Amino acid sequence: MSDREDVAQFAFDAVKGMADATGGVDGKGIPKPDPGFMLVLERCGISLDDFIQGLMEAGGAGFAAHLPPGHIHAFRDLMMPALVRVGAVTERSRTLYAAEASRCGRTSARSSRWKTTPPATSRF
């Protein structure tokens, strides 16, 4: 595997790990706890059960965690275009991203934009 493919694989693994931590591409899976967040709760003296109970109470009181229209999505709007610009998304890794999205029954008009964005000239 070339250096560029190594970087592309690393980027894919990192993005997939972050997506899996939030329930997968479609958000419907079981979220994997973020070790960093668990450490924050521990250092603040908050048990995970108390935190989850607080979230449920907030939801019951009408607090909605839905983002407003026009919000910036970290993966779609920032990370993926940046990875394409620096050349960290290759034809091989595009198939990995596409397979992961289709596994969840998801397609994105934005992904077609990534296909047409020329990769940056880089040392990879």
The predicted-structure confidence for 47-95, as pLDDT tens digits, reads as follows: 989 998 998 899 889 887 777 788 887 878 888 899 999 999 999 999 9
The predicted-structure confidence for 17-60, as pLDDT tens digits, reads as follows: 888 887 877 777 787 777 788 899 999 999 989 998 998 899 88
Q: Within 13 Å and on the Cβ side, how many CA atoms surround 14?
A: 12
Question: How many beta carbons lie within 10 A of that of residue 15, not counting itself?
Answer: 21
Burial of 119 (C-beta count, 10 Å sphere; 0-12/13-18/19+): middle
Two tokens, residue 45: 């003296």
Question: How many beta carbons lie within 10 A of that of residue 89, not counting itself?
Answer: 25
How far is it, in rounded angstroms, from Cα 35 to Cα 18?
A: 12
Structural contact between residues 106 and 25, judged by C-beta atoms closer than 8 angstroms:
yes
The per-residue pLDDT of the chain, averaged, comes to 80
